Structure 1
């Protein structure tokens, strides 16, 4: 068949589909009256006076913006500046097919039905998703509606305890604290995301920051509806062939997470909270005494006041409790321990800074233009207007002073904001807006301020910004979210996989929990605590944190518990080269650290929430029930190996994994490479140190590859300036030989050109008959019969490739 005939058939089929679509919906809001097109955007005028812009954004993605004359909108926040700039370079075309227009952008097409007006989004002629009645704008209500088919499943909405498939759920789009939540369905939490991702491999991002709702087939079975009380009617559609590619596309649009400082992957000492300098020093001393690795200490609200209530907004040290904070911070720094302090955006009328904040017009106002005051748990307060540059200047001066004193990281708490009057007035780019209009953008703008100004002040150091609320794209400001004040219970532990995965697929890849649980708990549950901290090894941030009546730090618990947890914290440090490579991959491509099993098989595992992938190598299943001696684990197709028991497990079904309190269900995929540095106590000590490269041989002979990334752990411009090295490891079977190739590219200041490397080759059936390195037989190897493991000692040159041949 000729190309011309194929093309004719394609458009005929498309026209028939659109005609069938039209016959279903007799009602119409508007028709297309005219259209125009430039290089990247199609602009449509409708009979109801509404205009619609459809713009190409790059790989498989378009933006749709509805505008109505006389109706005000607000700036969009979901798309990064890079995306906004690059869109001008996206070439698109438009074809008028009579009944419809066909907008062609890279890897995505939009069919625009003229009468009645509706949009369909396609990839290679296959419809991925279509509007139901499209955008609507009324006083007090605006949004957009899409059709759902009967079988598709959807992620979406951000932090909620509702199961991975959010189909049939309706949830508020309004960030709000959910104190003491557990595994009971919770439809509103700290960090909502106005976005969905379908098992049909499309994503929709609703770029509106106002109070609203996300209805995924709850009110109407096959209708997806985003709505809000005000703001933009704008959305992004992204389509792909598979879930991992879709995730990378979405993150490329909203902005990739900059590399965190390497110490962010270490162990944090944290609680609510250390009450004095002496107590803080004693805690750090105990970690050293018990030889437990530590990289950070986090100070909760007692650093600025002796009580929970009445002092928020002081934004300066309580010198009675912390007489020499500068020296304390310097002493910790000399030990390789970084200091992180909490701040909140509430300035209490009883705080030392209230008058200055009010006089500086740093606070959101009431309708009379005076500070909008209100009562909440901590006292009578105003709220910093983080949208207003002048208010940002006032707020930032306190961070700048703390930075000069040596503080390394920021913890922004209560940033939903926890209490946000609907009639609190903010100044956003010279426009006065209400609390409800910008509520979901508050944490985003706060994080942007802290990240960008920290980087400007200290351009040689990566900022660390912990915050619990934000918007689509907040990751581009280095935001590291956590899942809030979770119950200290088995029920609190159980939904953490779901919460992190729902965030990570939309770009918030460092979402983590208060390890051990935060809220409540009458007695210390050693088993629950141990299981939570074990699972934490394979999460983005390792930060035990809780109310102080039961200490969250392992140094305060019985020796048996402490010894088990210590081994797992040490494992966290041993895995630093692997974990840091995941951080690099995320910064380069948007791939999350924690990944749903649906990345392997979307159809089979889309709703799976018991286990997850930690990078490419590991499958992890947290133990979320007490007293169990085994757990059932669903293993995808292929060969897997127990990380702790070294046994072979065949995938493609469910396996029963035996347990004791010292082990966790962790499996390594055949073919995986896992670089390690055993014995690390501080992340700063990892540079130029010997490596162990663990490889699990793939009996099926498939080719496998892994890239180890390394830099100085500090430079914010390491990627942009190419100040890093990439060690690429490849394995393949040729005849009766396992071949491993190592090739290093790149450079960074201070890196050594030679590195001792010990290769640990697992999962070999028999002892090798010989080992050759770069073509020469070597005797620098040994065979561990008990673990069927080959150990080879080499020196790896960063300037020359290495080839290892293992005769089997």
Structure 2
């Protein structure tokens, strides 16, 4: 330990810069997993949650500690810390993150167990004049703000800060932390619906600021190697999180802030959605068109016309307009019989012209103005108040409305405008919460209200909660976020992979876009087709748009309809693979869409979003420009990649290659030497049968051994895995001497009944005719056609199944 401490001191002695000369240490106390440091302008409280997660809170003089976190759910572990003081320095050593504290001038630095500097406070905490950004000036009426400043190294690439369209590297920007919709954005947007006070470094650490109050993140906009968090008020708390891999880093962050519950399987199907269906007849006729066209569909989403005939003046009614929907409950039931689930929109605004205004005002469930009356103000939809979800009365009132809605048989809830869309600074919530202190967590706490309501009143159901705004940790409430009112244009499409990849790294693995684009009357069938082809490989497949141009394929041209149908059918074939991605996200926080540098940790790829990974084994390059004939694809090293649609094309990893673009699909490649589970096309996930599998394997003699798993349960029941109602299938491929051997095994939860499976093993890139194929030592006659070998087998999952194929 003495040698380690000496090395640490020598290393970090060259790593300090930018200290605040007026700050100095007065006292240092270490107790178990906590460190308390008294400095001349306040007190630091440092808590180790794990060796790789450290929380630092600074309490300035004349301020008191605020222990309330809206993000953190993890409890601190018992961590062994060793402290050593020498001259002007104290070090605290752990098996993960270590502290180096300079006494005078005071500074904290964080390093990993290899003594590599993670980050350090620069000036640390200070207060200074507020310099508002022009485009949010009206939202930030403050003369001074509180800041915490950190050092950056010159080569760091920075991600995070929520949903933005800025390019993958967000360094060089000063960005507001103020959730605000951006209608009709395209390839660039500095401010959108999700602003998250979190920065991810290419050095594999996360800096998370645990304070929901509005503010800014300055990612070295002055080019002086500084990162500055700025806020109007609230906690001066931040987390340093590290990991040895990108997957571990995100797992650690989601351990801290919560894991996404496993959604119902139908969430991965196709949605029929638009703004909006005006009547029961229109809704049912639309679904009938899907059925007659044999285009799979699993849900229909009703926008605001379910409670009012007009866009303006009716928000807040939140009860069925019986003129337009005369028998909502029966309609929902009829749709359910067809395998289609109904999702209804709701908003937190109660207009003074709505049916519920008088009741909401009388019951005191709305936020207040400065003199204690229900706050009222104008916005696009009318004169409104907003539900105070920070009062028990407000939460109970809102949830009782949801219970009534769910009583119709509705299976999903949509929370729109939850930024909130408009929220003046003078509005007050709860006992003492100001609008600007809760603005960025209103959507987060709204999702929490719904999620906890489900747990109480519908404990066996998995909720579907579609939300446009949230905060750090919103994933733990089952939030399904989307990227807002994107322009229906090629520019709008171009920003979508970046937004989804960034949000997945920030814990919100189901970020997706309105497929086809939302805003504008642009009728472009090629754009529509390319967006839906990309949508196959994004977390939620939900075409949605303003109704002036149809979002549903059944109302589009024959060209668009044909290609959209193919894309949707592929989405359903991929249900086993995609559901396993959902399980991985639930267990470890791993995003469904993953940046390519997850596979190849190369600085040249750190800003790439044009090619990405769908899970571990699909390599996707969306077509983001019109009528292009060729595009570049980045092929990560350590694997060979096969064209998913054209078996004859095999590309060696570790290169960027120009490939031809075809109309039928976007460039899609699969990793060689691994087994990928697919299934039959079904018209709804209600008809999905986990006992039928196609196991696809692209032969690659350089991959001597591989193993993949596939999770399965009933797709509906909450906490199925935790309650042991699941099966975990294991697929192993091994090349040994003269044979390729495929082994299939299964593990079961204590409450799962095993069943026989009908499996077709599909071997691609088989350019020879095998002399022998044995299934459990019994020879099987097989033909090879088009370099593909299909082996149908029955698998009793109580036993291991071995398939051996001779290599010549």
Q: State whether structure 2 residue 421 is matched by structure 1 residue 418.
A: yes
Which residue is equivalent to 1:3?
none
CA distance in 1: counterparts of 2:361 and 2:66, whole angstroms: 26
Contact 2:20 2:106 in 1 (8 A): no
CA distance in 2: counterparts of 1:595 and 1:329, whole angstroms: 36
Q: State whether structure 2 residue 40 is matched by structure 1 residue 47.
A: yes
Query: What whole-Å deviation, never above 9, does each CA across 1:749-796 have from its counterpart, x for those lacking one?
Result: 6754211111011123322221122333333x3322x2x111111112
Contact 2:696 2:764 in 1 (8 A): yes
Which residue is equivalent to 2:137?
none
> Which deviates more, 356-365 or 272-281?
356-365
Number of aligned residue pairs: give it: 789
CA distance in 1: counterparts of 2:31 and 2:5, whole angstroms: 23
Residue among 176, 179, 183 paired with 2:183: 179
Contact 1:597 1:605 in 2 (8 A): yes
Which residue is equivalent to 1:596?
595
Q: State whether structure 2 residue 75 is matched by structure 1 residue 99.
A: no
Which residue is equivalent to 1:133?
123
Residue 387 of structure 1 and its aligned partner are, at CA, apart by 1.9
Contact 1:420 1:439 in 2 (8 A): yes
Q: State whether structure 2 residue 134 is matched by structure 1 residue 144.
A: no
CA distance in 1: counterparts of 2:761 and 2:100, whole angstroms: 55
CA distance in 2: counterparts of 1:59 and 1:587, whole angstroms: 23
Which residue is equivalent to 1:155?
159
CA distance in 2: counterparts of 1:44 and 1:283, whole angstroms: 64
Contact 1:73 1:231 in 2 (8 A): no
Residue among 217, 226, 231 paired with 1:228: 231
Which residue is equivalent to 2:490?
490
Using a 3 Å threshold, how does the CA distance of structure 1 residues 734 and 205 change in structure 2: closer, same or farther? Answer: same
Which residue is equivalent to 2:510?
510
CA distance in 1: counterparts of 2:591 and 2:417, whole angstroms: 25
CA distance in 1: counterparts of 2:200 and 2:110, whole angstroms: 14
Q: State whether structure 2 residue 260 is matched by structure 1 residue 257.
A: yes
Contact 1:59 1:249 in 2 (8 A): no
Residue 380 of structure 1 and its aligned partner are, at CA, apart by 0.4
Contact 2:696 2:762 in 1 (8 A): yes
Which residue is equivalent to 1:432?
432
Contact 2:727 2:752 in 1 (8 A): no
Q: State whether structure 2 residue 436 is matched by structure 1 residue 447.
A: no
Query: What whole-Å deviation, never above 9, does each CA across 1:609-657 have from its counterpart, x for those lacking one?
Result: 1121000110111101111122111111231011112211122212222
Which residue is equivalent to 2:26?
33
Q: State whether structure 2 residue 289 is matched by structure 1 residue 286.
A: yes
Q: 3-state SS of the aligned residue for 1:192? A: coil
Q: 3-state SS of the aligned residue for 1:158? A: coil
Contact 1:764 1:789 in 2 (8 A): yes
Contact 2:641 2:672 in 1 (8 A): yes
Aligned 1:8-407 pairs, distance under 5 A: 8-21=2-15, 24-25=17-18, 27-48=20-41, 50-71=42-63, 76-77=68-69, 79-81=71-73, 83=74, 85=75, 87-124=76-113, 125-136=115-126, 140-183=144-187, 185-407=188-410
Aligned 1:517-556 pairs, distance under 5 A: 517-522=517-522, 524-556=523-555
Residue 15 of structure 1 and its aligned partner are, at CA, apart by 2.1
Using a 3 Å threshold, how does the CA distance of structure 1 residues 284 and 59 change in structure 2: closer, same or farther? Answer: farther
Q: State whether structure 2 residue 618 is matched by structure 1 residue 626.
A: no
Contact 1:759 1:793 in 2 (8 A): yes
Q: 3-state SS of the aligned residue for 2:196? A: strand
CA distance in 2: counterparts of 1:629 and 1:641, whole angstroms: 20
Which residue is equivalent to 2:131?
none
Residue 91 of structure 1 and its aligned partner are, at CA, apart by 4.1
CA distance in 1: counterparts of 2:18 and 2:296, whole angstroms: 63
Contact 2:725 2:752 in 1 (8 A): no
Q: 3-state SS of the aligned residue for 2:197? A: strand
Residue 135 of structure 1 and its aligned partner are, at CA, apart by 2.8
Q: Which runs of 4+ in 1 moved over 4 A?
A: 72-76, 137-140, 748-752
Contact 1:311 1:351 in 2 (8 A): yes
CA distance in 2: counterparts of 1:619 and 1:481, whole angstroms: 23
Q: TM-score by structure 1 length?
A: 0.95
Contact 2:483 2:514 in 1 (8 A): yes
Query: What whole-Å deviation, never above 9, does each CA across 1:410-433 have from its counterpart, x for those lacking one?
Result: 100000001011111111xxx412
CA distance in 1: counterparts of 2:773 and 2:790, whole angstroms: 10
Contact 1:58 1:106 in 2 (8 A): no
CA distance in 1: counterparts of 2:381 and 2:67, whole angstroms: 32
Contact 2:19 2:107 in 1 (8 A): no
Residue 220 of structure 1 and its aligned partner are, at CA, apart by 4.3
Query: What whole-Å deviation, never above 9, does each CA across 1:672-710 have from its counterpart, x for those lacking one?
Result: 321111221111222343111111222203422211000
Q: State whether structure 2 residue 796 is matched by structure 1 residue 797.
A: yes
CA distance in 1: counterparts of 2:531 and 2:65, whole angstroms: 44
Q: 3-state SS of the aligned residue for 2:804? A: strand
Contact 1:643 1:666 in 2 (8 A): yes
Which residue is equivalent to 1:456?
456
Using a 3 Å threshold, how does the CA distance of structure 1 residues 425 and 78 change in structure 2: closer, same or farther? Answer: closer
Which residue is equivalent to 2:661?
659
> Which deviates more, 370-379 or 595-604?
595-604
Residue 73 of structure 1 and its aligned partner are, at CA, apart by 6.1
Q: TM-score by structure 2 length?
A: 0.95
CA distance in 2: counterparts of 1:8 and 1:177, whole angstroms: 54
Contact 2:205 2:240 in 1 (8 A): yes
CA distance in 1: counterparts of 2:582 and 2:320, whole angstroms: 33
Query: What whole-Å deviation, never above 9, does each CA across 1:214-263 have from its counterpart, x for those lacking one?
Result: 11110343000111101111011111222222122112211110000111
Which residue is equivalent to 2:641?
640
Contact 1:346 1:381 in 2 (8 A): yes
Using a 3 Å threshold, how does the CA distance of structure 1 residues 566 and 77 change in structure 2: closer, same or farther? Answer: farther
Q: 3-state SS of the aligned residue for 2:460? A: coil
CA distance in 2: counterparts of 1:57 and 1:97, whole angstroms: 26
Residue 9 of structure 1 and its aligned partner are, at CA, apart by 4.5
Residue 16 of structure 1 and its aligned partner are, at CA, apart by 3.2
CA distance in 2: counterparts of 1:323 and 1:641, whole angstroms: 53
Which residue is equivalent to 2:612?
612
Q: 3-state SS of the aligned residue for 2:783? A: strand
Query: What whole-Å deviation, never above 9, does each CA across 1:684-740 have from its counterpart, x for those lacking one?
Result: 222343111111222203422211000011111112112211101111211222122
Q: 3-state SS of the aligned residue for 1:193? A: coil
Contact 2:672 2:703 in 1 (8 A): no
CA distance in 1: counterparts of 2:198 and 2:480, whole angstroms: 19
Contact 1:312 1:347 in 2 (8 A): yes
Contact 2:629 2:661 in 1 (8 A): yes
Using a 3 Å threshold, how does the CA distance of structure 1 residues 57 and 598 change in structure 2: closer, same or farther? Answer: same
CA distance in 2: counterparts of 1:626 and 1:27, whole angstroms: 53
Using a 3 Å threshold, how does the CA distance of structure 1 residues 766 and 341 change in structure 2: closer, same or farther? Answer: same
C-alpha root-mean-square deviation of aligned residues, in Å?
Answer: 1.7
> Which deviates more, 123-132 or 72-81?
72-81
Using a 3 Å threshold, how does the CA distance of structure 1 residues 771 and 311 change in structure 2: closer, same or farther? Answer: same
CA distance in 1: counterparts of 2:490 and 2:218, whole angstroms: 30
Using a 3 Å threshold, how does the CA distance of structure 1 residues 597 and 440 change in structure 2: closer, same or farther? Answer: same
Contact 1:56 1:91 in 2 (8 A): no
Contact 1:201 1:242 in 2 (8 A): yes
Structure 2 unpaired stretches of 5+ = 129-142
Using a 3 Å threshold, how does the CA distance of structure 1 residues 649 and 424 change in structure 2: closer, same or farther? Answer: same
Residue 604 of structure 1 and its aligned partner are, at CA, apart by 3.1
CA distance in 2: counterparts of 1:282 and 1:748, whole angstroms: 44
Contact 1:725 1:748 in 2 (8 A): no
